[in-house]
Amino acid sequence: MSESLETTAMEERQEQLRELTEFTENCKEKLNHILESLGWSLDYKQELMEQCPYDSHHRVPARSLEKHKASCSLRKMGYSAEEENTSKKTSPQKVLLSENTDTPNDIAGT
Ligand SMILES: [Zn+2]
């Protein structure tokens, strides 16, 4: 019966691992909260964050700022992220259907 014992131990480990992951996630959240209240960011330590010229709420890593500016300016002109990512233009209906990624209510809300 050593086999069932092994699987039990394995499950126990996975359970512990899950709890540990949850715990670290909680810690990260708390840490982020503290850093946020101080006006700091964890990313700041890793790389310089630049403010998007099109939207003052956007903070993007300096190395991807050019890329972001390109997509952000397109979005400001009314293009969706999907339209910009797919080189061939899809029908407006299809774009509307897939517009539920990271910008909620951008089109559907109005
Ligand atoms: Zn932006």
CA of 63 to the centre of ligand 1 (A): 14
Q: Are 28 and 13 in contact (CB under 8 A)?
A: no
Q: What is the pLDDT of residues 62-96, one digit of tens each?
A: 889 999 999 999 888 887 656 555 555 554 555 55
Q: Domain boundaries in the chain?
A: 2-43, 47-77, 80-110
Q: Are 99 and 106 in contact (CB under 8 A)?
A: yes
CA of 110 to the centre of ligand 1 (A): 21
CA of 29 to the centre of ligand 1 (A): 24
Q: Please report the pLDDT score of residue 31 as a whole number.
A: 86
Q: Are 59 and 50 in contact (CB under 8 A)?
A: yes
CA of 10 to the centre of ligand 1 (A): 46
- The alpha carbon of 100 is separated from its chain's Cα centroid by a whole number of angstroms, namely 14
Q: Is the pLDDT of residue 61 over 90?
A: no
CA of 39 to the centre of ligand 1 (A): 20
This prediction has a pTM of 0.33
Which residues make up the environment of ion ligand 1, defined by Cβ < 5 Å?
52, 54-55, 58, 72
Q: Please report the pLDDT score of residue 35 as a whole number.
A: 78
Q: What is the pLDDT of residues 36-60, one digit of tens each?
A: 888 776 655 566 788 999 988 999 8
Which residue type does 4 have?
A: S
